[in-house]
A and B are shown apart, each in its own frame.
Chain A
Amino acid sequence: MSDDLNDLKAMMAGATPRPNAARRAAHLALAQENFDALQGSRTPARPTSVTGPKGLWTGVRTMLNAMTTKGGLTATTALVAAGFLVLTPQGQDLLRPPSAPQITMTGFDRPATAPQAGTVAELANVRPESTAVQDTPISGGADPLPAPTLEDPFSDRSVPVVRERQPALSASRSNEMESDAIGQVAPQPQAMQESVSVMDAPMTQPAVSGLTAARRVVVAPSPPPDNVASTPVSNTEEFANADSNPLKITAEEPVSTFSIDVDTASYAVVRSSLLRGQQPPAQAVRIEELINYFPYDYAAPDESEAPFRPTVTTFQTPWNADTKLVHIALQGRMPALDERPPLNLVFLIDTSGSMDDPTKLPLLKQSFRLMLDQLRPEDQVAIVEYAGSAGLVLDPTAATERTTILQAIQSLGAGGSTNGQGGLEQAYSVAETMAADGEVNRIILATDGDFNVGLSNPDALKDFISDKRDTGTYLSVLGFGRGNLDDATMQALAQNGNGTAAYIDTLSEAQKVLVDQLSGALFPIAGDVKLQVEFNPAQIAEYRLIGYETRSLNREDFNNDAVDAGELGAGHAVTAIYEVTPVGSPAQLSDPLRYAPSTVAETSGELGFLKMRYKDPGAAFSQLIETPIPDNDSIPGTEANFAAAIAGFGQLLRDDRYLGDWSYDAAIALANDNRGEDAFGYRTEAVQLMRLAQSLAR
């Protein structure tokens, strides 16, 4: 009986044809088209001569057909004559009166027409104009920004003094600063020094491989003669970084601790390098900063909740089908902007000779002008410059006095050596005079890398900033220009000052940092935010934190409120991604031990447990949030997919050993498909940068 059925089954299996590949593709395309149509996004059918709007030629033909020969002749002759007048130079000469005045107007002839926007939303409407002005790459040789002397009618201090740098001296100073910064912010990989505290990290560089050259001074080779304009002659840039986080074996080290990082400087540096046609130095790539550069549409916390809401999702790794990504997203609350406290800003501006560059001081002035429009009448601004002529440029002034502030900004001129005594101290003392209860005090340090702000000892400098941080005055650092960028010190100062470090390479970036995301940069909603993840060895064999190398903390630091960590600003989103290898996955890289129990008794189905600590602004004691990481794979949404694409991009730039044969093509496709709403175009720009990096990598 069942033989018949089995025969039939075998026959059926043999008889069933393979689908025709072309038909298959056509059917899939049809289905997708219908799917898209249902979502209301079908691209309209192309107009044809039959169905579409009447094209020009159709119209002309109809007209000519309808006309008599004589009428047609007249009309075409008239057309030719008009074309002659309008399109040829001779014709235009005929049209124009002999002495017509020639008016040329460029975007930079009208500096006072900076967007007058009170709110971010309003500004978003104005954006096309300002970005259009900025379209020409700043880093190009022929720069559209005016030289300070042209733009600066107010000051006698604007004559730039060209200053010779002493490369050897500068390098040694930088080295000193750098190794210190590294010692502070970039501990050696935990596997190597689990028991050594961060401050005790060895000062000498273990000569392991070229990859570990964390505090190497990058010196670019002499540029070819035709490239002088775009490449700095001497390059004394330094970048804060450490070795990529190594793979950890859960059974040996189940706990991973780090501080959040909301800086974005690394992304802007990477962009600046790529737009100059160079691969960014691997040290300049901090993957978490690339990821956190973008705004994400994560679920925001409710009023009653903690100031931020964690969302943990698990999904398959794009570059490895046998591992998973644990995607941890923190979304900070966006307080009502109308209720924000008054703001006291002290601009501490580097006006040393090296700032005399279109991408430095002039860009800085334009950036601050943009920012000024974001301030309220009750806010106050003061300006301190540090250079040969250090001093208070602008007394604390209400933001309503726009003209006074603008004139003071304009009067800044690059010149002299960076020898300002007490620039930083002066800035803090000015900030103290402005302080009042319930107001936010912040110093914004703008520089191209000269941190000779009055305290020459880096330790003293950091202690000073830390002390001042405890009094409630925070410090943010804005980096400008390339060639001298001291990213390492920027990071160290901003981290110590509870501020953010951003790198501004274009006016668009200034718009993002100082306008669109100003409230996040200036108004902290949670301080010392630390994350600790304990992985379950019964579920996870190996894990690896992508990025956050300079932010790793010791396990015991998590509960120690005296240990500083990153600040979360209003509306900030922070993303951290772990790549985890489930137990039994073929992707496991380490072999099980022979003399140790090979399996861990299954105690829980959870992948791990996430703990977060934060302090309310000004509070001394931290609060704890805990949530398990459940083992349920989900379909990554647009936001998670895009973050994963950027994480992959960062690894391609920095260290692609875990990516297998995953390439730029895959990264570009993934990012491109997940650009989401992208109201500001940041993600589109990222895709372009990825394409550029792909071409440069070939």
Chain B
Amino acid sequence: MAARQGLTSRPRPITVMRMMTSDEDLATAAAAGDGAAFASLLDRHYDLLFAFCFRLTGSRSEAEDLTQDICAALPAKLGSYQARAKVTTWLYRVAVNAAHDRRRKRASYVRATTGWGDWEINRTAANEETHAQLDWLTAAMNQLGEDLRDTLALVLDDMTHAQAAEVLGVSEGTISWRISQAKNALRAIREKEEAV
């Protein structure tokens, strides 16, 4: 099969003819080495994925970088796709994990630079203020803890608590609890704002 794949040149996205094929069939085919199916699948979900990354990160450039990380790693992750799972569930799980990885790297980067580049961090923070923190939404999201942010990012995409639980690998009750936490936090932020 590998030799055969070598002969097919860079696959064109056959969007029209794959339109009716289910995500799950495409993912199974892609896992089996079908390049066209993979291209088609990613093409179909890229916008969704990007929007999710934006909700996870709260900034456009961060979202773009995160999406790139995911795209680069996705082919290797195809092996972990279980034929019975929904593709979106699997994709979101990959995205959440990638976001965690990214935050970890970032945290270590920040730790490594604390000693000698406070001015650099301050400058970045100032930039963030001018660009992003104008937006109440981003500010609010950024004040939430990571878990709450992940959970909200999923639930805001019309996912049920059960689905979000499946993506994050926690129980449904945990999701519900987190959502109420997030609501409390949001209300607190709003009240603080209105008090100002």
Contacts and interface: CB of A to CB of B under 8 A. Distances in A.
Interface stretch (B34-42, B83-91, B105-113, B162-170): B34-42
B138 interface: yes
A321 B5 contact: no
Interface stretch (A141-149, A620-628, A667-675): A667-675
A35 B19 contact: no
**How many residues of B sit at the interface, in one of the four size bands?**
35 or more
A164 interface: no
Given A9-B156, A30-B72, A38-B75, A673 B2 contact: no
A402 interface: no
A41 B2 contact: yes
A17 B186 contact: no
B122 to A, nearest CB: 26
Interface string A93-134: 000000000000000000000000000000000000000000
Contacts of A19: 46-47, 50, 64, 67
B137 A31 contact: no
A24 B21 contact: no
B98 interface: no
Contact of B135 (A4, A15, A20, A32): A15
Given A15-B135, A27-B71, A38-B75, A677 B3 contact: yes
B159 to A, nearest CB: 12
B60 interface: yes
Interface stretch (A302-310, A371-379, A471-479, A633-641): A633-641
A56 interface: no
B92 interface: no
Contacts of A317: 17
Contact of B19 (A1, A38, A321, A638): A321
A27 B8 contact: no
A31 B26 contact: no
B7 A678 contact: yes
B7 A27 contact: no
Nearest to B136: A11
Contacts of B155: 5
Contacts of A669: 12, 14
Contacts of B60: 17
Interface in B54-95: 54-55, 60, 63-64, 67-68, 71-76, 78
B6 A41 contact: yes
Contacts of B67: 19, 23, 27
A201 interface: no
Contacts of A318: 14, 16-17
B36 A673 contact: yes
A11 B10 CA distance: 40
Interface in A33-60: 34-41
A669 B10 CA distance: 11
A669 B11 CA distance: 9
Contacts of A12: 55, 137, 156
A184 interface: no
A39 B21 contact: no
A8 interface: yes
Interface in A173-212: none
A8 B135 CA distance: 12
B12 A4 contact: no
Contacts of A39: 2, 5-6, 33, 35
A28 B47 contact: no
Contacts of B76: 34, 38
Contacts of B43: 28
A669 B8 CA distance: 11
Interface in B4-32: 4-12, 14, 16-22, 25-26, 28-30
Nearest to B51: A16
B158 to A, nearest CB: 9
Contact of B9 (A1, A24, A672, A678): A672
Interface string A288-326: 000000000000000000000000000111100100000
A676 interface: yes
B123 interface: no
B152 interface: yes
| B2, B50, B67, B71: residue with the most chain A Cβ atoms closer than 10 Å | B71
B25 A634 contact: yes
Contacts of A2: 183
A267 to B, nearest CB: 21
B169 to A, nearest CB: 23
A633 B25 contact: yes
Which 5 pairs, one residue from A and one from B, show the smallest C-beta to C-beta distance? A41-B6, A35-B75, A31-B71, A19-B50, A27-B71
27 contacts: A2-B183, A4-B190, A5-B183, A8-B186, A15-B137, A15-B138, A16-B55, A19-B47, A19-B64, A23-B64, A23-B67, A24-B46, A24-B47, A24-B50, A27-B71, A31-B42, A35-B39, A39-B2, A316-B18, A316-B19, A316-B21, A633-B22, A635-B28, A635-B34, A669-B14, A673-B14, A676-B7
Given A31-B42, A318-B16, 14 more contacts: A27-B46, A27-B67, A28-B39, A31-B72, A32-B11, A32-B42, A34-B71, A35-B30, A38-B75, A38-B76, A316-B21, A633-B20, A633-B25, A677-B7
